[in-house]
Amino acid sequence: MDESILHDVDAELRAIRLDDGPRLQPLRLDKMFLRARQWHAANPRSYASEPLYRPPSPPRYPPIYPLPLPLAQSRSPSADKGKSKAIDSSQEGISPLSALFEYPELIPLVLENFDQSRDLAKISRVCKEWNRIARRKLYSHIWVRPWEDGCHFKLVLLFDTLHRHPELCKMVKRLDVRFFPLAARGEERSDLDGHVQKAIEEMENLESLVWTRDRSLNPTLVERIADLSHLRSLEISGHSYRYYDPSLIGTMPALEDLRIMMPDPNLKSKLIDAVNALSDRPVGGLRGLGIICQASSLIDDAILKTIAPNLNKLKRLTLWGCTRVTKDGVFEILHEASREIEELSLDALLHSGLMDLSRVPNLPNLHTLSLSMSIPHRDAKNPTLALEDLPILPDFERLESLHLTLSGSNLFLPLEAYQPFQAQIQSSKVRKLSLINLVIASDTLGYIVRTNVDHLEELYISVNGKMTILSSDELVEYGQKIRILHINAPEKWGPNSDDLQVIAHRLKGLQQIGSGNRVYEVHRRLPDDGDGGGGEGGGGGDGEERTELCRWSKSWIPGYFQVWRA
């Protein structure tokens, strides 16, 4: 065929369209002729004396169905004889997934496994019942975090929706607001504050509230919060001067856990009265108290000793960054609530005396201990920790989680220093161990997993390089029960994603692995038919299980970021 004729035919046919009902669809002849030209250019032969060959067509692909194909026939009870019968005509053309609707009690159990907001939003469009279930989970825990994309618009649209739909507010049980658009001014800020206050007022079932953005609170909003009858947990910004009255905290009828971020002198002056007021309620005082500062001298032993008698039901105590707090004030609180304390998290500064807990009041129910340590300045030529640099602990029989964080530096922790430290708690069954900025070698890692082989499930460690992990045979032999492993190392020598996959393939019980700020979910599956390769790390040959790493996709914060502290 002459090239010019082919070009003219191509140009004329480009305008042809097929009228298919209400839509106009192109015939895609342009692509057909493009393939013809490409085939003609690849076969420059004279066709004057040869029959015309048609250019090849693309292969046909089977149609993709969103659901399994409808059942054509069902097997009879006498299937072993090879007999079959057609299904009832009323059931023809129905997907096998329709059987799910025959057992409505299974639907909530299936939908409970969905976690992502985008998935729940799609599920809610299926039917009214699914909408009810998906909505309840979608709005039971809502949050706005500053590290997420579009946090400004997310917060504005969220509270715009909530204030216009009070029925949604009643579904909210946990609200986490760590971002607020402080740059908003004038009418925009006024409208936003109004929407927030109206939404909070309607959240009659709210149980947990986090509102830590500095200068984002106002007196009216805190009054609405104080009136919530089911609010049990509150984490709030401590910058109260000109923003809210801290004495309102003492009026909250159901408050059990209180965490204050960066308290100011105004809050300090009313903290004692607020704690006393909470203690005078029929339900009793606080079960959890946390005061978190960057480095502040506002909170001291005198305040702790004053409020200690009203904390006799305390189960959780957190004191971070309070530079004037020593073991005298802490031990006073622990003495009052010694039978109740379950979780203890402290900054063990050099002058505080909290590195020596040998004389701490008896804590028979303590299961979580977290210490942030500071040590004297060390010679850069010998950055090694000794036994005397580590805390002195009594033998907590019920201790399950132990977190040690070295503030300000990374120092090497040799085996000969760690062994006698762990011997102090030899009767404990540590399920979760965190050693952050305490750099360990392969021998220490091997000792940890070997001595805790029966119960260790979560391990957060710091190493000098990836070979500490990759060369540890004891980790493979004794660490098969570990579910979560997080490895901190210098970026230059730390494990990459391929190294993490190798580790995950060797540890069959691992469900989550990470390094630095990277967190992966571990997924295991048998290889598909004809699926070969996968390398040492992934497996995948001759029916061998394959190991794959996927970036963290859950809505909650991974465990490493809940125990780490600089």
Strand, helix or coil at 558?
coil
Q: Identify the H or E element spanning 233.
A: strand 233-237
Mean pLDDT, residues 6-10: 54
Whether the pLDDT of residue 90 is over 60: the answer is no
Tokens of 116: 């992502």
C-beta atoms surrounding 101 within 10 Å: 11
Residue whose structure tokens are 């490409």 = 38
Task: Please give the Cα distance from 262 to 557 (Å, whole number).
Answer: 22
Share of the chain residues as helix, strand and coil, in percent rounded to the nearest 5: 35, 20, 45
**In this predicted structure, which of 144-148, 236-240, 252-256 has the lowest mean pLDDT?**
144-148
Q: pLDDT tens for residues 496-527?
A: 989 999 999 999 999 999 998 888 999 888 76
Query: For 431-476, where are the E strands, in sequence order?
Result: 432-440, 458-463
Tokens of 330: 């802490």
Whether the pLDDT of residue 217 is over 80: the answer is yes
Q: What is the pLDDT of residue 87?
A: 42
More confident residue, 142 or 43: 142
Name the pLDDT band for 243 (thresholds 50, 70, 90): very high
More confident residue, 207 or 350: 207
Whether the pLDDT of residue 563 is over 70: the answer is no
Q: What's the start-to-end Cα distance of the chain, in Å?
A: 76
**In this predicted structure, which of 411-425, 468-482, 528-542 has the lowest mean pLDDT?**
528-542
Q: How much of the chain, in percent, has pLDDT values that exceed 90?
A: 55
DSSP letter at 281 equals S
Distances (CA, A) of 406 to 146, 281, 374, 409, 445: 27, 40, 6, 7, 18
Name the pLDDT band for 84 (thresholds 50, 70, 90): very low
Give the DSSP letter string of 186-201. HHHHHHHHHHHHHHHH
Q: Identify the H or E element spanning 451.
A: helix 442-451
More confident residue, 73 or 486: 486
Whether the pLDDT of residue 373 is over 80: the answer is yes
CA dihedral 206, 178, 514, 545 (to 10 degrees): 40
Q: Are 543 and 526 in contact (CB under 8 A)?
A: yes
Residues 6+ apart with CB under 8 A from 516: 488, 489, 491, 494
Tokens of 369: 């201990």
Q: How much of the chain, in percent, has pLDDT values that exceed 70?
A: 77
Task: Please give the Cα distance from 399 to 397 (Å, whole number).
Answer: 6
Tokens of 396: 């907590």
Mean pLDDT, residues 539-560: 74
Name the pLDDT band for 48 (thresholds 50, 70, 90): very low
More confident residue, 110 or 90: 110
Whether the pLDDT of residue 3 is over 60: the answer is no
Task: Please give the Cα distance from 509 to 375 (Å, whole number).
Answer: 36
Strand, helix or coil at 81?
helix
Q: What is the pLDDT of residue 342?
A: 96
More confident residue, 70 or 255: 255
C-beta atoms surrounding 413 within 10 Å: 25
Query: For 61-191, where are the E strands, in sequence order?
Result: 73-75, 84-86, 141-144, 174-177
Residue whose structure tokens are 């035919």 = 9
Whether the pLDDT of residue 7 is over 70: the answer is no
Strand, helix or coil at 80?
helix
Mean pLDDT, residues 311-322: 95
Task: Please give the Cα distance from 368 to 370 (Å, whole number).
Answer: 7
Whether the pLDDT of residue 533 is over 50: the answer is no
Longest dimension (CA), the chain: 108
Task: Please give the Cα distance from 548 to 162 (Å, whole number).
Answer: 39
Q: Are 207 and 257 in contact (CB under 8 A)?
A: no
| Angle separating helix axes 29-42 and 3-13, nearest 10 degrees | 160
Q: Are 344 and 372 in contact (CB under 8 A)?
A: no
C-beta atoms surrounding 489 within 10 Å: 20
State the average pLDDT for the chain.
Answer: 83
